[in-house]
Amino acid sequence: MSEIERLVEVCEPEIRIDFALNCKCRATVRLRSLCATSPVAFKIQTSSPNKFLVNPPCGLISPSSSATFQVILKPQSQLPPTYPRSPSDRFLIKTAEFLPNSSAAASSTRPDSINSWFASLSDASPTHNLKLKVAFVGPVLLRDAVSRGDLDAVRNFVKRQRSVLADLSFDESESLLRVATELVNPDAMVHLLLEAGLRVEEEPLLRSENSNPHVVVDPRWASKGWDELHVAAAFDRTDEVLVLSKKKKTLGTLDSRDHKGRTALHLAVEKGSIGCARVLVEAGADKDGRCNDGGTPLLRAAANGDRRMVEMLIEMGADPTISDDRGLSSIDIARDEGHVSASFHFLSSYMQKEVVEIMEQGEEVVAAARHGDVKKLESLLKRGGSVYYKDQYGLTALHAAAMKGHKDVVLMLCEAGVDLESQDVEGHAPLHMAVEGGDEDTIQVLVKKGVNVNAQNKKGATPLYLARILGYNGIAQFLVSQGAVSSFPVILR
């Protein structure tokens, strides 16, 4: 600890002056005494007496108390040559313990008395000095920095005075944004202002005056790499997402990515817009698409602790085993709050536990189905276990039960609303797995429940084709009686 810290401390590391042209600008500095036994005297000196006044220029601080002084910048007709930090403007705060037996009258607190007291100090009673630098801040200088495209200056403004953007009115914010968009290369500046908290009206799209259906993305969002679908998803505009997703699907741009590699589905998930997310998934958006850090929509939902979003994505077939660039899967992220990226919302322990339970129960459901454990499966389903969970091979509980010939489990899962046509990573439907397992009763249950008897895997093989190459003649005859037709894998054609 330094000498000065044993006497006083300053609440702010520098003197920040909200600058305006041609008028006095003030900043208040608070000193807190760290001395519990006697008063502390202070005296303020500046390197630029032609620019600054100090009121009061000196004073006393009672033991363990605080005192303030005001720095006044005289009216300036020009902007500071350098800002926010001013290299030439500094203040020196001299402090010393004000002892009752000093040569000055201990009871006097007048500036001239304290000045005289400081002057009377001998070399044996040195002062403890504290230096403060000056920073010029405020909307006037911020606008000038934006107009010059000075990204470093704007970053320093935001770092020192985060509220400078939040305190602007909407008109002032819009004006500042227009200044940024008029730069030769506006993207970086616009992005910086928006990320730093510049408030703008939540109307993300600008339409032409003649009501032409063509949609133009506002520059503030284009700077992020967003198209109109990104914007609609980010602002939870479900009806707009529905219209745009159909158009984007036709154009093949449903999964367009922004500068961070995020699709509209990523944004919908990050914002907790479950309606938009569902519309996008149903339209064919990539459920397992990875952004620049390897994160999938499900990874985002798990990190946000969004139970409803996690359930919906798993129900729609999102893969919980995919890992991000750090090797963390959705389950890992849900388990370990400490590894959640700073770009995600931190999770409450309660929500964290819920998301972990969804993931872990999904694993247990598949395991119980594989082992034919009807009682455990029934218990898991009552506790909210998901029948839509897929393992690393894309197998659902229905795949696992069908492959093992567990008819009762298959029947239970069908009644629970499982997806009868869900495909694993090789494109096998549950009926393919039932045929491979060779249990006719299980196959009959699936067919009676309405599965597609002519489902094809990624190689074009149908359940009937598998039955014939495996020599299951009775199963093949049953499938033919139910409308199955001959099919050969594409690799054999």
Euclidean distance between CA atoms 229 and 233, whole angstroms: 6
What is the per-residue pLDDT for 405?
Answer: 92
- For residues 484 and 463, the answer to whether their CB atoms sit within 8 Å is yes
What is the per-residue pLDDT for 385?
Answer: 73
Distances (CA, A) of 88 to 13, 69, 77, 79: 17, 21, 18, 14
What is the per-residue pLDDT for 343?
Answer: 31
**DSSP assignment, residue 323?**
B
Sign of the dihedral defined by the CA atoms of residues 374, 375, 376, 381, in that order: positive
Beta bridge partners of 206: 216
The total number of residues shown for the chain amounts to 493
What is the per-residue pLDDT for 301?
Answer: 84
Residue type at 78?
A: Q
What is the per-residue pLDDT for 201?
Answer: 56
Euclidean distance between CA atoms 283 and 271, whole angstroms: 19
**DSSP assignment, residue 338?**
G
Choose among 43, 46, 40: nearest CA to 15: 46
Pick the CATH number of 4-137 from 2.60.40.10, 3.20.20.60, 2.40.10.10, 3.40.50.300: 2.60.40.10
- pTM for the full predicted model: 0.44
What is the per-residue pLDDT for 2?
Answer: 44
Euclidean distance between CA atoms 25 and 19, whole angstroms: 6
- For residues 387 and 365, the answer to whether their CB atoms sit within 8 Å is yes
Q: Which two tokens stand for residue 250?
A: 């036709």
Mean pLDDT by 10 residues, the chain (493 residues): 64 90 94 89 93 92 92 95 92 84 52 78 74 92 94 89 77 83 82 78 42 48 81 86 88 89 92 90 92 88 80 81 76 52 36 52 80 86 75 83 92 86 88 93 92 90 90 92 73 42
**DSSP assignment, residue 329?**
B
> Hey, where are the domains in the chain?
4-137, 359-492
What is the per-residue pLDDT for 4?
Answer: 41
> What residue has token string 């939540």?
202
Sign of the dihedral defined by the CA atoms of residues 430, 432, 437, 439, in that order: positive
What is the per-residue pLDDT for 352?
Answer: 47
Euclidean distance between CA atoms 192 and 156, whole angstroms: 12
**DSSP assignment, residue 478?**
H
Q: Which two tokens stand for residue 52?
A: 């600054």
Pick the CATH number of 359-492 from 3.90.1520.10, 1.25.40.20, 3.30.565.10, 1.20.1300.10: 1.25.40.20
Residue type at 478?
A: F
Euclidean distance between CA atoms 423 and 67, whole angstroms: 72
Q: Which two tokens stand for residue 9?
A: 């401390």
Choose among 207, 211, 204, 277: nearest CA to 238: 277
Sequence-ordered list of residues with C-beta below 8 angstroms from that of 247, at least 6 positions apart, any chain: none
